[in-house]
Chains A and B, each alone.
Chain A
Amino acid sequence: MTIKIEELKNLIKESIPDAEINIQDLAGDNNHYSATIKSKLFKGKSKIEQHKLVYSALKGKMGNELHALSLNTIEN
């Protein structure tokens, strides 16, 4: 089970419309990614809350279709 970069970006954009997203496919297997996401929505939130926002945008795919996503969230 894998997921494409574009699909990932679209999912994140749906929930976090102002997100500036940079995703790298770490292993070239559509399954291990690293993402840097910048958004105003992260303002005033803890890192845990910021990452949870992204996980919820991915609608349960994290840990399932998507094995590994290293996250770096930045307040914009």
Chain B
Amino acid sequence: MNQNVKQKINEVIKDNQVCLFMKGTSDVPQCGFSMAVSNVLKHLEVNFKGINVLEDPELREGIKLYSDWPTIPQLYINGEFIGGCDIVKEMFEKGTLQKKLIENKIKYKENS
């Protein structure tokens, strides 16, 4: 893949503990799957960096190669690829996402 794009992804992931590569923004998501993951993070009141891949075609293709994962959204915690919409939702429901946040010392709010 393009080394500039790779570099850019490396930097974003390094500078932000929780990164969500998504279509649209967390305020105005452009895809239901991106909205679902964004809503999980909002629900947990996790501070995260949303990156709108629709603004950058190189990034949109690059992130798929970076993680060897064909779809967007993609969630990263401390540089680790966590998964897409299905995995994140399942982890949230099982509580393993919350566990992951605790392991990474990331603050979140435990809602009922």
Chain B residues engaging chain A, CB cutoff 8 angstroms: 33, 64, 68-71, 81, 83-87, 90-91
Contact = CB atoms under 8 A, between A and B. Distances in A.
B69 A47 contact: no
Contacts of A15: none
A55 B86 contact: no
A70 B70 contact: no
Interface of A: 47-48, 51-52, 55, 60, 62-63, 68, 70-72
A72 B86 contact: yes
A52 B90 contact: no
Nearest to B31: A68
A68 B33 contact: yes
A31 to B, nearest CB: 13
